[in-house]
């Protein structure tokens, strides 16, 4: 049976993946394609609906990103968002102009909730605006279905043709009714029934993988991160002992992490899989000794990882399939899907060896967003602690130690980081118990890093000359931009006092409040 699908056409706006995620939250499958995608290809995919995203261009300029007018004549419902709405009007004979001021931020709007797009949306609501251009005249056949003080056409429709345009961004959380609007579009206007569910994804994919792999042998580089763990368990449910997982402990993991991964996936854990743990910290420390250039570190760690992995793969013998935990944002960001600019390409330590003997790569999660991977993880019975793990860079603590790396410095950063995480988790779970939800300041990623700075302190009666720890905690949606999380001062004080008392070699604690940009989340 073919799955119902919405196509998201990407004009290069910053929220484009968010649009796709919100559609998926409505249990409707969607894929992102560049605006340059050929109209015939779009037709062949037989989408139930099309969404045109925002983007940085002005549709009336020469060489602006555009689409074929035929797109609006396919008989398929189309929803334009921000730039997408303006473009739809421009292409169909309306008028778009530059306003004197940019309309930006939370904005009150009045909607006509007799429109199918705004069914069950309160007449007066808030939305997130971010535009310079505005629709100054609607195209023939269109009527205005929402207005704001500065925007005479905050939303427009031609209901008989199933064409809709919204000037604001329903996909961001600052538009509280936004998901309902997208739901109205994909479920009611396009008629999608909601056939995209993670429980059926698990069942369907176990069967598909089993049929595809047959009696072949499968190898998986397991990092203990969410993606590779979910991929490994899915594969193990499909082909059992035909799968071997190799977990390389490069000595740059968080405190106790290697043992925790082994406890879940090793012989004592609930999954009956072939699990090989390679304790390789010594060889990594030797290779990294005296290196303080961040890119060199990343390169050395990445290469050494591959060498270790290859050695293990050779011991196993020829394998037919190699599993990778690639997820949909990796596909989109590598330019295979949408149009978004590649801001930073991370090489993942789970990266592929060039010449391991295998005939095919299997990427069972390549259609999924992170939140969907997590749901699949829960469906598969993977512990919540692992499923909701915060992101951890492939090069591990290697990018959280400024300057050269040694076992001693790894110990300091591991211990400080464990204290920081413990205190944040304790405070937030106490808060949750009395308030029902985590506090507003709860960071999306938080960790300790070791600065290369040593300074003078006093402990008891003794002078110290020790290292300073930096505490980093950020709020972020997509990890492309971030702001510092406002952790209560008392929590920071407890963390500071515990770190200095409990972690040998550290006598000072600093909080890094830099946003991204201009900083990055990791210090290196
Ligand atoms: P930055 O430091 O670029 O980090 O702001 C953004 C997000 O990516 C993670 N990160 C990495 N992940 N390999 C990875 O797999 C890497 O080399 C790497 N560097 C950063 C970082 O933890 C944050 O979540």
Please, what are the domains in the chain?
5-189 (3.40.50.880), 198-396 (3.40.50.620), 402-512 (3.30.300.10)
Task: Say how many CA atoms lie within 13 Å of 326 toward its Cβ.
Answer: 19
- Catalytic: which of 82, 127, 245, 509? 82
Segment 276-305, tens digit of pLDDT: 999 999 999 999 999 999 999 999 998 999
Token pair 């905690």 in the structure block, residue: 473
322, 352 in Cβ contact below 8 A?
A: yes
> What is the arithmetic mean of pLDDT over 65-78?
97
Strand 445-459 relative to strand 360-362, pairing: unpaired
Q: Is the pLDDT of residue 310 over 50?
A: yes
Averaged pLDDT, 334-344: 52
Q: Are 131 and 153 in contact (CB under 8 A)?
A: no
Q: Does the beta carbon of 298 sit less than 6 angstroms from any atom of ligand 1? A: yes
Residues 261-281, mean pLDDT to the nearest whole number? 93
Q: Counting atoms of ligand 1 from 1, which one is nearest the CA of 399?
A: 19
Mean pLDDT across 386-415: 95
Percent share of the chain, pLDDT over 70:
95
57 C-alpha vs ligand 1 centroid, how far in Å? Answer: 29
- Judged against a pLDDT cut of 60, whether residue 222 lies above it is answered with yes
**For residue 242, what pLDDT is reported?**
94
The pLDDT of residue 62 is above 70:
yes
Ligand 1 centroid from CA 393, angstroms = 5
520 lines ligand 1 (CB under 6 A): yes
Share of the chain above pLDDT 90, in %: 82
CA of 495 to the centre of ligand 1 (A): 24
Q: How confident is the model at residue 477 (pLDDT cuts 50, 70, 90)?
A: confident
Active site residue 347: no
Structure confidence at residue 335 as a pLDDT band (50, 70, 90): low
46 pLDDT exceeds 80? yes
CB of 344 within 6 A of ligand 1: the answer is: yes
Give the ligand 1 atom nearest the CA of 522.
2
| Residue 151 pLDDT class (50, 70, 90 cuts) | very high
Is 521 touching ligand 1 by the criterion CB < 6 Å?
yes
Give 74-96 pLDDT, tens digit per residue.
Answer: 999 999 999 999 999 999 999 99
337 CB within 6 A, ligand 1: no
43: which 2 tokens?
């037709």
Confidence (pLDDT) at 343: 34
Q: Which atom of ligand 1 is nearest to the CA of 344?
A: 3
Q: What pLDDT was estimated at residue 404?
A: 96
Is 516 touching ligand 1 by the criterion CB < 6 Å?
A: yes
Active site residue 59: no
For residue 336, is pLDDT > 70? Answer: no
Map tokens 């997130």 to a residue.
128
The whole-number pLDDT of residue 101 equals 84
What is the β-pairing status of strands 462-475 and 483-484?
antiparallel
Q: Does 391 sit in the ligand 1 pocket, CB within 6 Å?
A: yes
Ligand 1 mean position, distance from CA 199 (Å) = 30
Q: For the ranges 18-32, 309-323, 324-338, 438-452, which has the lowest average pLDDT?
A: 324-338
> Residue 305: CB within 6 Å of ligand 1?
no
Closest-CA residue, ligand 1 atom 12, reads 393
* Active-site hit among 169, 190, 372, 379: 169
pTM for the full predicted model: 0.83
* Catalytic residue, candidates 157, 171, 379, 423: 171
Q: In the annotation, is 95 catalytic?
A: no
- Mean of the per-residue pLDDT values for the chain? 92
Beta strands, E only, 35-142: 49-52, 78-81, 95-111, 124-137
Find out whether 165 and 121 touch, Cβ atoms under 8 Å: no
**pLDDT the model gives residue 510:** 98
- Res. 332: pLDDT tops 90: no
Q: Is pLDDT above 50 for 345?
A: no
Render 362-406 in DSSP notation, one character per residue.
E-TTTT--HHHHHHHHHHTT--HHHHTPPP--TTGGGGSB-S---
Q: How far is the CA of 145 from the centre of ligand 1 (A)?
A: 42
Q: Which residue's alpha carbon is nearest to atom 3 within ligand 1?
A: 520
């Amino acid at each position: 049976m073919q799955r119902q699908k919405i196509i998201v056409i990407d004009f290069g706006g910053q929220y484009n993946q968010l649009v796709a995620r919100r559609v998926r939250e409505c249990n409707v499958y969607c894929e992102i394609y560049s605006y340059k995608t050929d109209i015939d290809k779009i037709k062949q995919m037989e989408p139930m609906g099309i969404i045109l995203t925002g983007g940085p261009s002005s549709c009336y300029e020469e060489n602006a990103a555009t689409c074929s007018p035929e797109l609006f004549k396919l008989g398929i419902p189309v929803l334009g968002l921000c730039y997408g709405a303006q473009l739809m009007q421009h292409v169909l004979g309306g008028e778009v102009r530059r306003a004197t001021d940019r309309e930006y931020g939370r904005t009150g709007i009045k909607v006509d909730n007799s429109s199918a797009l705004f069914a069950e949306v309160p007449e007066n609501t808030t939305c997130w605006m971010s535009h310079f251009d505005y629709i100054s005249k609607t195209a023939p056949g269109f009527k205005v279905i929402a207005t704001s003080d500065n925007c005479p056409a905050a939303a427009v429709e031609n209901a008989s043709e199933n064409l809709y345009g919204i000037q604001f961004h329903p996909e961001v959380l600052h538009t509280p009714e936004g998901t309902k609007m997208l739901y109205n579009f994909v479920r009611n206007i396009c008629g999608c029934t909601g056939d995209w569910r993670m429980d059926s994804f698990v069942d369907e994919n176990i069967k598909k993988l089993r049929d595809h792999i047959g009696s072949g042998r499968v190898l998986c580089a397991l990092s203990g991160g969410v993606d590779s763990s979910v991929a490994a368990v899915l594969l193990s449910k499909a082909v059992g002992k035909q799968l071997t997982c190799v977990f390389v402990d490069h000595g740059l993991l968080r405190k106790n992490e290697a043992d925790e991964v082994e406890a879940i996936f090793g012989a004592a854990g609930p999954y009956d899989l072939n699990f090989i743990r390679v304790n390789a910290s010594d060889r990594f420390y030797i290779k990294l000794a005296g290196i303080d250039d961040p890119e060199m570190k990343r390169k050395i760690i990445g290469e050494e990882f591959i060498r270790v992995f290859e050695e293990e793969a050779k011991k196993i013998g020829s394998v037919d399939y190699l599993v990778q935990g690639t997820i949909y944002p990796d596909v989109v960001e590598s330019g295979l899907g949408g149009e978004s600019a590649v801001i930073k390409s991370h090489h993942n330590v789970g990266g592929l060896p060039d010449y391991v003997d295998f005939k095919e790569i299997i990427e069972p999660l390549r259609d999924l967003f992170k939140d969907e991977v997590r749901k699949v993880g829960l469906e598969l019975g993977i512990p919540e602690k692992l499923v909701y793990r915060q992101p951890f860079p492939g090069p591990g603590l290697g990018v959280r130690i400024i300057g050269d790396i040694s076992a001693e410095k790894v110990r300091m950063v591991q211990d400080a980081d464990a204290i920081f995480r413990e205190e944040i988790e304790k405070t937030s779970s106490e808060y949750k118990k009395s308030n029902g939800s985590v506090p507003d300041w709860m960071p999306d990623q938080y960790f300790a890093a070791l600065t290369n700075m040593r300074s003078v302190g006093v402990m008891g009666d003794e002078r110290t000359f020790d290292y300073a720890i930096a505490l980093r905690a950020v709020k972020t949606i997509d990890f492309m931009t971030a702001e510092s999380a406002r952790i209560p001062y008392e929590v920071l004080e407890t963390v500071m006092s515990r770190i200095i008392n409990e972690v040998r070699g550290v006598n000072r604690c600093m909080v890094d409040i830099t946003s991204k940009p201009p900083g990055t989340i990791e210090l290196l």
